[in-house]
Amino acid sequence: MGHSLPPQCPVEFVLSLPQKDQDAIHAELVRARIRRHGGTGPIPVEVDGQTLGYYVPLQAAELPPPPLPQLSDEDRARTQRALADLGNTFDVVSFLTGLRDTRRG
């Protein structure tokens, strides 16, 4: 009969390895996730159903931004009127604070 080693959690095993080996394993796991998700957008990093953040593959980060929506003639005219008189503006933070205060009573 052979001697068997006690089962070990995969995470504990990886953390027990030298940093160089941990980095190699991490890189391979990231590559596998990129392949699985297609590499064209942010990949959620989730633990126990909670999103910790997103990993953005280099290929996705280098994509050009999506085109801006085309303005209708009416929206373009409204924008031009607003830009023509910058003195006729307001501070949006103050406006939103005032809205919030009036809702409180």
The string of pLDDT tens digits covering residues 11-69 is 889 999 999 999 999 999 999 999 998 888 899 999 898 999 999 988 888 878 778 88
Q: How far apart are CA 86 and CA 19, in angstroms?
A: 57
Sorted by where each begins, the domain ranges of the chain are: 10-61, 73-104
- Please state, in angstroms and rounded to a whole number, the distance separating the CA atoms of residues 21 and 92: 51
Q: How far is CA 15 from CA 24, 25, 28, 43, 87, in A?
A: 12, 10, 15, 23, 60
Cα angle 31, 64, 83; round to 5: 145
pLDDT for 105 equals: 60
Rounded Cα distance between 55 and 42, Å, is 6
Query: Whole-prediction pTM value?
Result: 0.49
